[in-house]
Structure 1
Amino acid sequence: MSSSLAPSRSAHVPGRATTLLTALATALVTAFVLAPRMLAASGVGNALSDRDDLVQAVRKAFVAYWASGDREFSPELETVVDYWFRYHVAKAVIAALLTIVLIALGVLLWKAFLRTGGVGASRNAALTSSSVLVTVLALFSLAVVVVNVQGAVAPFASLLPMLGVTSADGELGATLDEIRERLASQRAIGDRTPPAIEVMINDFDRYHLAMAVLASTVTVILIAVSVLLWKKFAGTEPSDRRTRRVWASFATLSAVLSMFVLVIATANISTAADPAPALLAFFQGGW
């Protein structure tokens, strides 16, 4: 049975649809770069829209939060965490839309590639490079979706790298030293865990559990796609080598990616099961 993707070797690239999808992808890339900070700044003005200002706000609010001894976030830290949550939500939504557009564009280009056998070396080369580029961009965009969903699920934990744990000094450095000591003593002698550290451990757990769930889901999808494509490969006439190569390439790629993502899922499951050592390693600069 011949593949439905290759009914005619004389077919051409649907120019209008390709142009529209390319324009949409370009607009979404621009929106991904510019829009999240503006959308996240709703209610806080431009106080956090600059990266340096955000880092300083995180460090100042974190020091005050630790000094308070409370479990609940201070108003300053709550503002920063809410901003970071909205920022990641905006990025995740835009990246998801971009992924959909890139997948649609990739399907059009790969269909055109399958229909242009023998047309010309230059045309084949252009279609091949364009199709591969769009495929790579779609995979990268999917990864961006996953990372930003993780950040939205646990925004406090995803802010912690801004503390600069390996280079902090002054009041922040002293705060981080106290946290390292309390985390170490809590592991060594079962000392009472301060409320702020409990919050950090819980959010760190949520951060890694989110990635474990997301990566596991992507792994299942990739395995299912690989199985489906191998079936497509088996159902394509042996004489249609061009189509069979495409099916085999994508099936292999899906299988390889599924193993890579499975490793990520497994590592995050392990961390989520016991997040305190990983959090200590983070504050010691070894994570």
Structure 2
Amino acid sequence: MPGRTLAALVVLAVALFVALFVGPGALAATGSGAALDEGNLAESFRKAFVEYWNAGNRDFSPGMERVVDYWFRYHVAKAVIAAILLIVLVTLGVLVRKAFLRAGGLGAGQRVGLASAGILVTLLALFAAVTTVANIQGAVAPFASLLSMLPTGARDGELAATLDQVRQRLAAPSGAGEQTPPPLDMMIDDFARYHLAMAVLGAVLAVVLIGMSAVSWRRYARTASSDRRTRRLSGAFGVLTVLSSLVLIVVAVVNTGNATDPRPGLAAFFEGGW
């Protein structure tokens, strides 16, 4: 394994991993026009939510606009960092895989070390992929992503009264004669967009993983039975990609249901059961 390349990739991966947790907030706060950060975001959103609901308009109120804009930039920054980290980890994984397959002359300890490194890189790559997808989803529908910061079980105060009004409106049958309040209409639309984004991303990733699995199983079938290391590695990767694609297919189907009929899912969220 080329030592300098390996060292550079490891250092870059560590730097990106740290940046993934400390960078997005700082980048999102740049030019936000308000003193927003991860520490006060939830409280700011709750105040803006009450303001937005009481305004009765579909367009965001100034306070909500600032919060949503900050959260959009946060997700974009985190998605970009996670995507770069994923590319670095995939490259590192390819190097480790090649080294492991050529490790016939190494001792047992070195082979175990390479295998452990391969497992670690694979797990980190899965984490980076999930983070990338989740933040793309959040960037597509930042308002719906912010809803998770609402304390749906609140019982006192102006926020609790607002949440009760939202629940009552969602519980009313659609088309019952009353027009849906514009803020609620926006919530329903963004909630649908949020789940549609995950449905599309999940389906695309499932197709990619199925293709990777087919390549891996083809390599497994074409490898001589005497080459146990290659066959085991190809088989393990084939199983991992098949299982991952099945999970993603389920995720895509569930999110498609919420995207096509978002109102029940949103109502369940505000009731605390979603």
TM-score (norm 2): 0.97
Other-structure match for 1:25:
13
2:116 matches 1:129 = yes
2:80 matches 1:89 = no
Quote the Cα distance in structure 1 between the aligned partners of 2:56 and 2:33: 29
Quote the Cα distance in structure 2 between the aligned partners of 1:168 and 1:149: 33
With 165-174 and 192-201 compared, the bigger mean Cα shift is at 165-174
Matches within 5 A, 1:135-154: 135-154=122-141
Other-structure match for 2:36:
48
Question: Cα deviations across residues 85-118 of structure 1 (Å, max 9, x unaligned)?
Answer: 0000000000000000000001101111111125
Other-structure match for 1:5:
none
Cα distance change, pair 38–46 in 1 and its aligned pair in 2 (3 A): farther
Cα distance change, pair 190–285 in 1 and its aligned pair in 2 (3 A): farther
**Residue identity matched to 1:43:** G
Cα distance change, pair 46–196 in 1 and its aligned pair in 2 (3 A): closer
Conservation of the 8 A alpha-carbon contact between 1:186 and 1:193: no
Question: Cα deviations across residues 159-217 of structure 1 (Å, max 9, x unaligned)?
Answer: 00111112353100000000000110144835321101100000000000000000000
Q: Which runs of 5+ in 1 are unaligned?
A: 1-12
Quote the Cα distance in structure 1 between the aligned partners of 2:148 and 2:107: 51
| Secondary structure class of the residue paired with 2:58 | coil
Matches within 5 A, 1:99-114: 99-114=86-101
Other-structure match for 1:6:
none
Conservation of the 8 A alpha-carbon contact between 2:93 and 2:121: yes
Matches within 5 A, 1:119-198: 119-167=106-154, 169-187=156-174, 189=176, 191-198=178-185
**Residue identity matched to 2:248:** V
Aligned equivalent of 2:214, options 227, 243, 246? 227
Cα distance change, pair 188–70 in 1 and its aligned pair in 2 (3 A): closer
Cα distance change, pair 225–187 in 1 and its aligned pair in 2 (3 A): same
Quote the Cα distance in structure 2 between the aligned partners of 1:74 and 1:45: 15
Quote the Cα distance in structure 1 between the aligned partners of 2:10 and 2:38: 30
Quote the Cα distance in structure 2 between the aligned partners of 1:156 and 1:168: 23
Quote the Cα distance in structure 2 between the aligned partners of 1:50 and 1:191: 38
Other-structure match for 1:218:
205
Cα distance change, pair 115–252 in 1 and its aligned pair in 2 (3 A): same
With 173-182 and 231-240 compared, the bigger mean Cα shift is at 231-240
Other-structure match for 1:60:
47
Quote the Cα distance in structure 2 between the aligned partners of 1:202 and 1:265: 18
Conservation of the 8 A alpha-carbon contact between 2:33 and 2:66: no
Quote the Cα distance in structure 2 between the aligned partners of 1:125 and 1:167: 52
**Residue identity matched to 1:226:** S
Alpha-carbon offset, residue 56 of structure 1: 1.0
**Residue identity matched to 2:257:** S
Q: Which runs of 5+ in 2 are unaligned?
A: none
| Secondary structure class of the residue paired with 1:117 | helix
Alpha-carbon offset, residue 29 of structure 1: 1.0
**Residue identity matched to 2:242:** A
Conservation of the 8 A alpha-carbon contact between 1:86 and 1:152: yes
Matches within 5 A, 1:244-283: 244-283=231-270
RMSD between aligned alpha carbons? 1.3
Quote the Cα distance in structure 2 between the aligned partners of 1:44 and 1:69: 24
Cα distance change, pair 133–168 in 1 and its aligned pair in 2 (3 A): farther
Alpha-carbon offset, residue 32 of structure 1: 1.1
Alpha-carbon offset, residue 14 of structure 1: 1.9
Q: RCO greater where, 1 or 2, for CA within 8 Å and sep 6 or more?
A: 1
Cα distance change, pair 185–154 in 1 and its aligned pair in 2 (3 A): same
